[in-house]
Chains A and B, each alone.
Chain A
């Protein structure tokens, strides 16, 4: 096991009864970088973290740290630090006592406890019972526990949950600093925007399966799709229809945004301008756009979201509203497909994402889109 594969998972599978939480997951985490572990809620991130730490036994496959299964690591607390659950503290115990009991396990001097309390900024509440801690303070206490043994491998499960912006910035810088010191930093999150700023490398899972394992830059270039936003005068809807027809004829794909703008892919910007000119359509906007990392991530995981909200119909609570009232805008006949509300992002580049393809070919399995 060279230095390249500090944490290595091979064919990791975990089933709880009939439910498969993690399926055939293989990846490795390198030292010296922050590796982001991304996935929607319930995608198996925490289960994977627990398996790495030897808390849950994999149904099949294995995971090692520095070449050893966690349970066989000599003096584990000095090699691996972990923040799993910020609230996993006996509420009646003070922050300092909690850390002291953990320090004693690994033969860490009590002085170090005060040191890490200072590092996470909890020195003033060290003697207070952790019961009264906010989620953010709990996260800081959990991070302190992870840092206690000065370990080379650090695992953080959703460390920025509940932190204020200052705290988020602090965690972000802390992760980068730890990685710059040559440590292995493995951070889970369900927020792509956060990982884009923190991580160098991404491991994305959905429904317990690996969706992507690549550097952040590769992830962006592979997943973001360029599109053009085109806006025609709002007062003349027929111009919009005319342009749409011309664009489709030219081989473009057109989707409508809620505010009336058009999202165009497959036709370069100058060509859109030419087409508009030929069709005698004036343009109020023609702008190039790139899908954000967040959009790319959502597109990738949209087929793998376990908990999806439906629109609140309030069917039995509200009086039926008279149709004639309203806000002055007559209902528009949709001419072009609208950008699906849920996927408020660019259309998927064809053939890049198995989940998106699946979602398109099996519309019956998806909940009805409210629009």
Chain B
């Protein structure tokens, strides 16, 4: 039985020795921070044009996270590639021949990659927050205000969980291309569009990204958005259920199928 610590160490070597790790994580951070900063600057200059309701529910914290909508896609790519390249390269056979215990293999890999994604997610979230607040001028908030720290830490958790969810999906589908082809349009288009369609949004609010992003709101219905039947932690809980389901699915596929 290969020791868990040995597998973790090996997975860390694997993850740090491919350039896709640096590229995807760096773009997740840069895209999120840059786009968040741009939107903060824009809102600062056009604050007076906002409707009465929007001004009343203005959430400076949430606004500084606007870039995550795009930045999360890089996290999805990171998560998918970490698992998917094992299959596309055929490395999975070498890996499983060395670690016959498939659960140890999969969960060690996901633990290492997930921890890395979480660290980068937290850095992204704090950077976005501070830069965004600096640009919001008089409308800014501070880390010490009610619930703000929860939202900023939550932003990091959200990024990390999106990556882990993607890893589970890639383990289920056993293909990077297929996983990206499903996840990217889902998070970028389907989820966003459905959340704006009457009726459909009742369902869409239980999607992992919709539910999970509630943790980043300090004002309950930020910017006059829809009321959700769950709170910030409830939303994160829903996202966690999605993540657990994808991991379980990925594990069962790996356990049952021939490599």
The answer on a CB contact under 8 Å between A104 and B6 is yes
Type the 1/0 row for A294-335, where 1 means its CB is closer than 8 Å to any CB of B.
Answer: 000000000000000000000000000000000000000000
Docked pose: A84 CA to B97 CA in angstroms: 10
- B interface residues with partner A (beta carbon < 8 Å): 1-3, 6-7, 9-11, 13-14, 17-20, 85-86, 89-94, 96-101, 258-259
Docked pose: A255 CA to B199 CA in angstroms: 83
Residues of chain A within 8 A (CB-CB) of B94 are: 84, 88-89, 102, 145
- Interface residues in A71-125 (C-beta closer than 8 Å to B): 71-77, 80, 82, 84-85, 87-94, 97-98, 100-102, 104-107
The answer on a CB contact under 8 Å between B90 and A106 is no
Instruction: State how many angstroms separate the Cβ of A367 from the closest Cβ of chain B.
Output: 32
Residues of chain A within 8 A (CB-CB) of B97 are: 53-55, 70, 76-77, 80, 82, 84
**Which chain A residue has the least Cβ–Cβ distance from B8?**
A104
B17, B85, B86: the one contacting A97 at CB < 8 Å is B17
For A, the interface residue count at a CB cutoff of 8 angstroms equals 36
Docked pose: A73 CA to B2 CA in angstroms: 10
The answer on a CB contact under 8 Å between B17 and A93 is yes
Residues of chain A within 8 A (CB-CB) of B2 are: 75-77, 105-106
The answer on a CB contact under 8 Å between A75 and B1 is yes
Residues of chain B within 8 A (CB-CB) of A98 are: 17
- A interface residues with partner B (beta carbon < 8 Å): 50, 53-57, 70-77, 80, 82, 84-85, 87-94, 97-98, 100-102, 104-107, 145
Residues of chain A within 8 A (CB-CB) of B101 are: 71
Residues of chain B within 8 A (CB-CB) of A105 are: 2, 6-7, 10, 98-99
The 4 closest A-B CB pairs, nearest first, are A88-B90, A97-B17, A56-B258, A71-B100
The answer on a CB contact under 8 Å between A101 and B100 is no
Docked pose: A90 CA to B21 CA in angstroms: 13
**Which chain A residue has the least Cβ–Cβ distance from B11?**
A101
Docked pose: A54 CA to B97 CA in angstroms: 7
The answer on a CB contact under 8 Å between A57 and B258 is yes
The answer on a CB contact under 8 Å between B100 and A90 is no
The answer on a CB contact under 8 Å between B19 and A92 is yes
Residues of chain B within 8 A (CB-CB) of A53 are: 93, 96-97
The answer on a CB contact under 8 Å between B258 and A87 is no
Residues of chain A within 8 A (CB-CB) of B259 are: 50, 55-56
